[in-house]
Structure 1
Amino acid sequence: MFSYGVVLAIVLILIFQHRKRIRRGYGYATRATAPLKTYVLPVPQQYRDILQKYFRYYRNLSDKNKARFELKVTNFIYGKRFIPRNVSHVPVEAKVLIAASAVQLTFGLPHVYLRHFNKILVYPNNYYSSITKQYHKGEVNPKYGIIVLSWQAFVDGYINQTDSTNVGLHEMAHALRLENIVRYENSRYLNENALEQFDAWAKRICASTEPNTFFRPYACVNVHEFFAVAVENFFERPARFSEELPELYSIMVKLLNQNPLEMKQL
């Protein structure tokens, strides 16, 4: 009886592991075929409705570029696994708008979909990290290909689009710069000369004895945070950015291959 029970337990474990591998393989295949699905299947009308209702950047695009934006959003959604944390599921509105924040950042970079980051963890509110012992609004983990967001903080960032604080753009900026290192060591998609110029500006501003009155102090934690904060200001306060730091703004235009002051030309 004992040996039969042991054998049965082993069989059940093997079946469970096999089913788990199948599910993992199916999920990988689903994400890997995202580009094909995007161009074969129509963009769900629900996605368009959500973008039109809630995403100002999308509304400001020309009709031609709205269609291109929709394709990039759909590709992003198909290529990621959205994982709910402390909630039962991730609503379609959250998937579309989180994808839209990534596409907003990368819209001028046609072949960039942040593919290294294939898991999006979504918390309803700020979440506690057992590592830092602090509450967070978002973070990026390149080792495991994870982007983590507080949905409430994400929404707050887009409700007020002029305060230069946007957790969606901030975390996607981290992901963009990290993926430029992780996946493209020999062929990086961000203009290397412009990136070097950007880093030089970051060091100059943060090392200056004169107080920086444009970027919030958190920008000077390190060059990655400076990039993320610069991205927030690039999209939320482009006119003032261009006026106060015209050279740095021009570098950002070159890095992201777009200019928020000339939306219709995208």
Structure 2
Amino acid sequence: MSLLRKHHRRKLLESPFPEAWQDILDADVPYTQLLDEAELARLRETITILIDEKYWEGCGELEMNDRVQVVIAAQAAIMLLHLDATDYFHNVRTFLVYPTAYVQSQERVGSDGLVHSGSANLGEAWYNGPVVLSWKDSLQAAHSPGRGLNVVFHELAHAVDMMAGTTNGTPMLKNREDYASWNSTMSETFAALRKRYAGGGRDVIRPYGLTNVAEFFAVTTECFFDDPIRFQKAHPKVYEHYARFWGQDPASRSWPRG
């Protein structure tokens, strides 16, 4: 990071966190109630930097405003509470936000080898490009933590995966020796889940996570942050790898019991 950027961030964070933004967190992001004071301070700093450094654009008649930015940035910041390696998702330059699910206008080749176009999306992440999100679904995810469904976590997990140069479901790990254990655990879990679903079984990891290894990482990241107690119980080895990578243990937080 350049000295100029460091100086800019330092000056930016000298200003107090806006009261209006805190009101938005209190009203729309109940996840923040699970965090300790140090994490809340880190969260506010990260929100401030993400809103300042990223380009935010409303699409499909959505007017960009503080609420949209704070709610989405807060969910992104939860992922970065103890993870510095991404430098605030350095490969994400832009957030494009639609009012609701949007129609994908560009053709793409899916994991099935077919060309897809005109499909409805809740979100998507492009390599060194924008993250695209549905505001309706981003807000619903913020309002209702604990379901294991969060489009912001999902798409930013893809962005983290892409930092390694490819989307193979394996982010950049701290130590070279970690890769063998990671790949073994994920491969075994992926294969076991395919067998389970083929036999009519169910799991906390929804079937979409078995589309390919990239979607497996994105869906299980949703589970890790948004349904961590059930995820840890069902897949303790995967949870342990994620706790080391993300630097946090969300299952240990005081989640409300339903």
TM class by shorter-chain length?
A: 0.7 to 0.9
For 2:124, the equivalent position in structure 1 comes to 139
**Partner SS state of residue 13, structure 2:** helix
For 1:157, the equivalent position in structure 2 comes to 141
Alignment of 1:200-215 (within 5 A): 200-208=184-192, 210-212=195-197, 213-214=202-203, 215=205
**Partner SS state of residue 86, structure 1:** coil
Deviation of the 1:181 alpha carbon = 3.5
Q: Is 2:218 the partner of 1:244?
A: no
Decide which of 97, 100, 106 is 2:80's aligned counterpart. Answer: 106
For 2:216, the equivalent position in structure 1 comes to 226
**1:168/1:57 Cα in 2 relative to 1: closer, same or farther (>3 Å)?**
same
Q: Is 2:30 the partner of 1:46?
A: no
The normalised TM-score by structure 1 is 0.77
Aligned length: 229
For 1:253, the equivalent position in structure 2 comes to 243
**1:125/1:191 Cα in 2 relative to 1: closer, same or farther (>3 Å)?**
farther
- The runs of at least 4 consecutive aligned structure 1 residues that moved more than 4 Å come to 30-34, 188-196
Q: Residue by residue, what CA displacement relative to the aligned partner does 1:50-109 show, whole Å, maximum 9, x if unpaired?
A: 112221222222223212210111011101010110125212111011111111112111
For 1:90, the equivalent position in structure 2 comes to 64
Q: What is the CA–CA distance in structure 1 between the aligned matches of 2:159 and 2:100, rounded to whole Å? A: 21
Q: Residue by residue, what CA displacement relative to the aligned partner does 1:116-169 show, whole Å, maximum 9, x if unpaired?
A: 2111000001111122221110000114x2000010111222333232111111
For 2:53, the equivalent position in structure 1 comes to 79
Q: What is the CA–CA distance in structure 1 between the aligned matches of 2:84 and 2:227, rounded to whole Å? A: 24
Gaps of 5+ in 1: 1-29, 183-187
Amino acid at match of 1:92: D
For 2:111, the equivalent position in structure 1 comes to none
Decide which of 166, 176, 199 is 2:160's aligned counterpart. Answer: 176
Decide which of 11, 27, 34 is 1:60's aligned counterpart. Answer: 34
- Tell whether the 8 Å contact from 2:75 to 2:152 is kept in structure 1 after alignment: yes
**Partner SS state of residue 139, structure 1:** strand
Comparing 31-40 and 226-235, the one that deviates more: 31-40
- Tell whether the 8 Å contact from 1:195 to 1:255 is kept in structure 2 after alignment: no
**Partner SS state of residue 117, structure 1:** coil
**Partner SS state of residue 207, structure 1:** helix
**1:53/1:31 Cα in 2 relative to 1: closer, same or farther (>3 Å)?**
farther
For 1:129, the equivalent position in structure 2 comes to 104
Q: What is the CA–CA distance in structure 1 between the aligned matches of 2:216 and 2:174, rounded to whole Å? A: 16
**Partner SS state of residue 96, structure 2:** strand
Q: What is the CA–CA distance in structure 2 between the aligned matches of 1:109 and 1:128, rounded to whole Å? A: 33
Deviation of the 1:193 alpha carbon = 4.4
The normalised TM-score by structure 2 is 0.80
**RMSD across aligned positions (CA):** 2.4
- Tell whether the 8 Å contact from 2:186 to 2:238 is kept in structure 1 after alignment: no
- Tell whether the 8 Å contact from 1:121 to 1:149 is kept in structure 2 after alignment: yes
**1:123/1:43 Cα in 2 relative to 1: closer, same or farther (>3 Å)?**
same
**1:84/1:254 Cα in 2 relative to 1: closer, same or farther (>3 Å)?**
same
